[in-house]
Chain A
Amino acid sequence: MSTDVTVMESKYQELKKRASEKAAVLQEKPYVMVGTATCGRAAGALKILDVFKEEVQKHQVEAEVMEVGCLGHCYAEPMVIVYKPGFPALCYGNVDEGIASRLVSDFLVGDDPCFEFAMAALEPNDFFPTFADYPRGVYEQKIVLEACGLIDPEEIDHYIARDGYSALVRALAAEPGAVVDEIKDSRLRGRGGAGFPTGKKWEICRNADAGEKYVICNADEGDPGAFMDRALLESNPHQLIEGLIIAAYAVGASQGYIYVRAEYPLAIDRLRTALQQARDNGLLGDNILGSGFSFDIRIFQGSGAFVCGEETALIASIEGKPGIPSHRPPFPAVSGLRGKPTLIDNVKTLSYVPHIMRNGAEWFKGIGTPESPGTAVFALAGKVVGTGLVEVPMGTSLRTLIYDVGNGIKDDKGFKAVQIGGPSGGCLPESALDLTIDFDSLQHAGAMMGSGGLVVLDEDDCMVEIARFFLEFTQNESCGKCTFCRLGTKQMLEILTDITKGQGKPEDLELLWELAEDIKAGSLCGLGKTAPNPVLSTLRFFRDEYEVHIHEGRCPARKCKDLISYRIVPQKCSKLCDACIASCPVEAVFTRPDMLKEIDLEKCVKCDNCLVTCLPLYDAVEKVSPPITVAVEGGSASE
């Protein structure tokens, strides 16, 4: 092996030298980085990119305009980074066309960095705070997200300049068994949700006796509100590719797949480019870096079934069969794709691998909790101010995550619950806010790490409706193979729908609980086994809300349409304003003889328009629950 090692080293050093030189050249003149991951594009980043290109040309500034991935600050998209020699690189959020053109004319042409639009500087300086100076920066610790948004995902040299692929060299220089040991020793756990020890899985697959083996990266991210994998694929695909190559070397696979859902076209594009670049640089394909190890990766596009994130269904899908789970054991690590031992790891799990190989298992274990080392990546969403992608050490409390990292609840509303883990997860109440997050604590509390979706709910959210929403999702995505999942989730959904319509029966809650428990214990695959979690957790922590719906026909959060009415408070209504009338799509709001406004409840479709319109003006429209019953004669309303 020793000659191979020196060959590999020198080949890598060549790549590194080229990348470092490029990086140094980049710092010599101004550049603009526009975050054009899907999240940025949704906020108009491509338009901003065009504006920068046009303005730079118009002003004849010699500046490079690049596309980068996602920095994780969703609330501030589109985001750009502008660098000019002599200034720290500065990050600007909520950039519109005006700001973009001013950044060129004032900053790149003039010398005014437009601090009024800046969010943070990327490195410490005397002018402007960095991200680390904000509470979010204090609690965040980025490993897999570190380079996201700071490098061009379609430029392999950006990755190599940051020591990218050096972990691969280190791995290839060691025995495959030693690589497995390193990952085992790091106690890395699968980030796909269940938290199974990654090293153990690698070991089982490595020890499986077979000539041919496969490795698969599961990038079939499908939870509503979860976009961690997408951001990683779009922002730093080489990190994942490096991790996958190391995994393949460790278990002895020669063919790999990245199973990406087809709904992520940008991720697929960027992955394709990255794979080709890796091949062109001798990092993928035959005889990688002269090590004698050959391995290649194919992209497989999933076609829209959520259940294909389940590993046996995923394998069936690659084999060309319907994406339907099958019984385990045998586990894929023993008998997977085409009956061969197959290692399946999530995008995040594999993205940690290069870091662990580079910095060692001890370093990794120094972060997070003893049982769940490392960091957790969450997609913060819902009623939280600082929505976005965050990475915090395991063991961070929910309170810190929501109030410090996420900057608290929107509009100063009261916190009600936090939904963790998407449709497989659960809702935790205020009393759980001081819970420190790791795989085991969440499971114990009735939620689940899941893939890392974290939705904050406030006083305006109805917990029955939330449970119904998530169950409707899993019920829709059930493959229908097994009885409990196909029919059980449907029964539960019917019950929940009845409750949100005020048609629930007192005995429904017992049946709901019983079904939830049996579906959990009796379903064939992970989808069914976790589908009842949103119902179980809300029943456990918010049972009173269910009971009020059933016994009083009232929705405490005034969210369930069938259990509310709209009314205009005469004392607050202005005789001179017609805003509510104009906003009503069905002409339900009318002017009374005394010029005050009233709602015809028979016509009202409860669209919320009048309330939203009046809120900043007079705040005269309110929702009441239980609903006002309409008198049959005359159409006038009484309570």
Chain B
Amino acid sequence: MSNNNGNNNGNNGNNEKMVTITIDDKQFMVPEGKRLLWAALENGVYIPHLCALEEEEKPSAGCRLCFVEIEGFLNPVTSCTQPVKEGMIVRTRSKRIDRMVKNGFELLLSNHRLNCGKCAANGSCELQKIARERGLKLRVSRMRKLENDAPIDDSPENFSYDPAKCVLCGRCVWVDHNMAKVGAIGMVRRGMSRRVATFGETALAESNCTQCGECVRACPVGALAVKE
């Protein structure tokens, strides 16, 4: 990020001007200032991602999976935070990127309750999609399994929250605050104890949650899932 002057805040705004960028040797016309991740996805180029939401003005950039290499940048860049510029040359795959995505992915899986067969998100899970797209294994082999034994909250009528499946992407919190405008959930605690919770860490049904289901739709995995 050495030659980024910090003037662009990543907001694509109403700018209609189109620029040409190159992703993996293919050229694309995209609106100037649009964030690279969305420019790529819209043009059919897959970049792994979990936490990104296009509507979000300030990307949280927490999942660290959408790395790409951009010519002129020393280090890999998160594509969710990077506005496109005329002439930008991007690589979504390289030895370095592939390893970072693999290790980042495996780290998430090392802390994920893997039970795809019985998971409501089976088939629609973003983790499965990343594994398929990048040829990665869901079962952790090299890393230690970091068990998460936080209990499931199945207090809502139609859905439940399983912290052990949560990848802490924060999408549910964002939609709760900005789309549903309820503010029932937020991130609490730090480090390995970080989790999504209500105020006072009560059960969802005992909070001001309206059970509108926005968060369930936003969840990229099976942590917030509709009850069978």
Enumerate chain A residues within 8 angstroms of B111, measured Cβ to Cβ.
Answer: 487
Would you call B198 an interface residue if the criterion is a C-beta within 8 Å of the partner chain's C-beta atoms?
no
Q: Which of B162-195 contact A (CB under 8 A)?
A: 167-168, 187, 189-194
Contact B9–A329 (Cβ < 8 Å)? yes
Given A480-B191, A524-B64; A327-B104 close (CB under 8 Å):
no
Contacting pair A331 B190 (CB below 8 A): no
Task: With a 10 A CB-CB cut-off, give which of B62, B100, B143 has the most chain A CB atoms.
Answer: B62
Given the known interface contacts A326-B60, A480-B194, A491-B107, the answer about A522 and B6 at a Cβ–Cβ threshold of 8 Å is no
Give the residues in chain A near B161, CB-CB below 8 Å.
Answer: none
Q: How far is the CB of A139 from chain B (nearest CB, A)?
A: 35
Given the known A-B contacts A490-B146, A522-B64, A522-B76, are A515 and B191 also in contact in the complex, defined by CB atoms under 8 Å? no
* CA–CA, A522 and B63, complex, Å: 10
The answer to whether B103 and A518 have CB atoms under 8 Å apart is yes
- Cβ of B75 within 8 Å of any chain A Cβ, yes or no, is yes
A208: shortest Cβ distance to chain B, in Å?
A: 10
Cα A480 to Cα B1 in complex, Å, equals 23
A187-195, A416-424, A471-479, A623-631: which lies at the interface: A471-479
| CB neighbors of B among A446-477 (8 A) | 475-477
Is the C-beta of A334 less than 8 angstroms from some C-beta in chain B?
Answer: yes
Chain A 474-503 near chain B by CB (<8 Å), digits 1 or 0:
011111111110111011001100000000
A133 at the interface (CB under 8 A from B): no
B202 contact set on A, CB distance < 8 A: none
A486 touches B75 (CB 8 A): no
> Contacts of A507 on B, CB cut-off 8 Å?
142
Q: Which residue of A lies closest to B76 (CB)?
A: A521
Neighbouring B residues of A476 by C-beta, 8 Å: 191
Which 8 residue pairs across A and B have the least CB separation, nearest first?
Answer: A480-B194, A329-B6, A487-B107, A327-B61, A478-B191, A480-B191, A331-B6, A494-B144
Q: How many residues of A contact B (CB 8 A)?
A: 39
Chain A residue at minimal CB-CB distance from B112? A487
A515 and B168 alpha carbons, distance in the complex (Å): 20
Asked if A4 lies at the interface with its beta carbon under 8 angstroms from chain B, I say no
Asked whether any CB of chain B lies closer than 8 Å to the CB of A124, the reply is: no
Q: List 14 A-B contacts (CB under 8 A).
A: A326-B60, A327-B59, A329-B5, A329-B7, A479-B190, A480-B192, A481-B168, A482-B61, A484-B64, A484-B107, A490-B192, A495-B144, A514-B99, A518-B104
Query: What is the CA–CA distance of A334 and B6 in the complex, to the nearest angstrom?
Result: 7
Residue of A nearest to B195 (CB): A480
Least Cβ–Cβ distance between A520 and chain B, in angstroms: 9
Pairwise interchain contact B110-A328, C-beta atoms closer than 8 A: no
Q: Which of B82-115 contact A (CB under 8 A)?
A: 96, 99-100, 103-104, 107-108, 110-111
Known: A477-B191, A480-B168, A486-B194. A524 touches B110 (CB 8 A): no
Is B14 in the interface zone, CB < 8 Å from A?
A: no
* B-chain residues with CB within 8 Å of residue A495 when the two chains form the complex: 144
What residues on B are CB-neighbors of A204 within 8 Å?
A: 6
From residue B155, how far is it (CB to closest CB) to chain A in Å? 24
Which chain A positions have C-beta within 8 A of B189?
480
User: Given A334-B6, A522-B104, A322 and B61 touching (CB < 8 A)?
Assistant: no
Determine the chain A residues whose CB is within 8 A of the CB of B61 once the complex forms: 326-327, 482, 524
Give Cα distance in the complex from A324 to B193, angstroms. 14
User: Is A330 part of the contact surface with B, judged by Cβ < 8 Å?
Assistant: yes
* Closest CB in chain B relative to A182 CB, distance in Å: 24
Tell whether, in the assembled complex, residue B190 and residue A491 are in contact, meaning their CB atoms are under 8 Å apart: no
Report the Cα distance A334→B5, complex, angstroms: 10
CB contacts (< 8 Å) of A488 on chain B: these are 103, 107
* A518 x B100 contact (CB < 8 A): yes
Q: Which residues of B contact A327 (CB under 8 A)?
A: 58-61, 78, 81
A335 interface hit (Cβ, 8 Å)? yes
Interchain nearest-CB distance for A541 vs B (Å): 24
Please, how many angstroms separate the alpha-carbon atoms of A494 and B187 in the complex?
25
Query: Would B60 and A481 count as touching, CB distance under 8 A?
Result: yes
- Tell me, yes or no, whether B8 is within 8 Å of chain A by CB: yes
Distance in angstroms between the alpha carbons of A480 and B64 in the assembled complex: 12
| Cβ–Cβ < 8 Å partners of B63 in chain A | 482-483
In the complex, B65 has a CB within 8 A of chain A: yes
Chain B CB within 8 A of A305 CB:
yes
A476 to B9, CA, bound (A): 31
**Chain B residue with Cβ nearest A524:** B61
Q: How many Å from the CB of B82 to the closest CB on chain A? A: 10
Within residues 141 to 168 of chain B, which ones have a CB less than 8 A from any CB in chain A?
A: 142-144, 146, 167-168
Interface flag for B67 (CB, 8 Å): yes
A490 to B167 Cα, complex, angstroms: 15
B4 in contact (CB, < 8 A)? yes
A523 within 8 A of B: yes
Would you give the 0/1 interface string for B189-207, flagging 1 where the beta carbon is closer than 8 Å to chain A?
Answer: 1111110000000000000
The answer to whether A484 and B104 touch across the interface, beta carbons within 8 angstroms, is: yes
In angstroms, how far is the closest chain A Cβ from the Cβ of B8? 7
User: Which residue of the partner chain, among B6, B103, B146, contacts A494 with CB atoms under 8 Å?
Assistant: B146
A487 near B146: Cβ-Cβ < 8 Å: yes
Contacts of B96 in A (CB 8 A): 521
Cα–Cα, bound, A598→B32 (Å) = 78
B213 CB to closest chain A CB (Å) equals: 25
Q: Compute how far the CA of A329 lies from the CA of B82 in the bound complex, rounded to whole angstroms.
A: 9
Per the bound structure, the CA–CA distance linking A514 and B104 in Å amounts to: 11
Q: Is A511 an interface residue (CB 8 A)?
A: yes
For the complex, give the distance between the alpha carbons of A482 and B65 in Å.
10
Verify A515–B103 contact, CB threshold 8 A: yes
- Whether the pair B187, A486 counts as a contact (CB closer than 8 A) is no
Closest-by-CB residue of B relative to A334 is B6
Q: Which of A313-366 contact B (CB under 8 A)?
A: 322, 324, 326-331, 333-335
Q: Which residues of B contact A324 (CB under 8 A)?
A: 187
Cβ-defined contact, B62 with A511, below 8 A: no
Which residue from B62, B75, B146 sits with its C-beta under 8 Å from A524?
B62
- For the A-B complex with A326-B58, A327-B58, A477-B191 known, give 8 more contacts whose Cβ atoms are closer than 8 Å: A330-B9, A475-B191, A480-B191, A482-B63, A484-B64, A490-B192, A507-B142, A514-B99
